[in-house]
Amino acid sequence: MAIFDENIVREYFELNGFFARQLRKHSVHSRRKATEESVDLLVYNPSAPPDAPEPNFQLFSSDMVAIRQAIVVVHSWQQTRVTPAILKSPSRLLEFLKKGVLSQTDVLFQVEDGVLENVAAYRKVLVLPGLPTAEPQRSECIELFKAAGVDGVIAFSTILEDLLRHVEVNHSYQKSELLQLVRVLKIYDMVQAPQMRLF
């Protein structure tokens, strides 16, 4: 399922003007026997102004213009035990992020020597199933990620909403099965504007 997540995130960055390439793909071994696949993308935005203001920590599509280059790690939500109940509970989501993501950030963002010339010049961006929306869990979560060296996080909901907004029904996306599927859903009114609610 990591390929599916990678395609969604890659399409998102490319629709926002980035060049994206896969940096590596390998298994990250946790303390348990289970392994989890990590997808890293290297993204570069050639049109980002050098004097762009610092983007927010929780990134939205409007923040993309301020990012020139980043290492993006996709924390695959299909391979973790994220349920709808966890996503809707700020305290349970915070607990999941602490145990399932924060404990791995140092490993997830490791870059082999010689792959990038100046790793410090790249923002470390983490794509997550979601962040707590209620306080104080949201602020606590953000502070924990900052302390772990993460420069920004994007929720999958932000990515999916942006893809829905970008896809036009009168444009064919022959080279992208994902965008073509979104287009077909919009053509048949399976996605309704402006809320973009499915079904």
Residues 152-170 have pLDDT tens digits of 999 988 999 999 888 999 9
Q: Determine how β-strand 197-198 pairs with β-strand 35-44.
A: unpaired
pLDDT reading at 194 higher than 90: no
Residues 24-63 have pLDDT tens digits of 655 555 444 343 456 689 999 999 998 888 899 999 999 9
Q: Which long-range contacts (CB under 8 A, 24 or more apart) does 139-148 make?
A: 140/94, 141/94, 141/97, 142/57, 142/58, 144/97, 144/98, 144/102, 145/57, 145/102, 145/105, 146/57, 148/102, 148/105, 148/106
Confidence (pTM): 0.81
**Domain boundary assignment for the chain:** 2-166
Burial 61-86 (b: 16+ CB within 10 A, else e): bebbbbbbbbbbbbbbbeeeebeeeb
Which of 4-18, 28-42, 169-183 shows the lowest mean pLDDT across its residues? 28-42
Residues 105-138 have pLDDT tens digits of 777 777 766 667 777 788 999 998 888 888 888 8
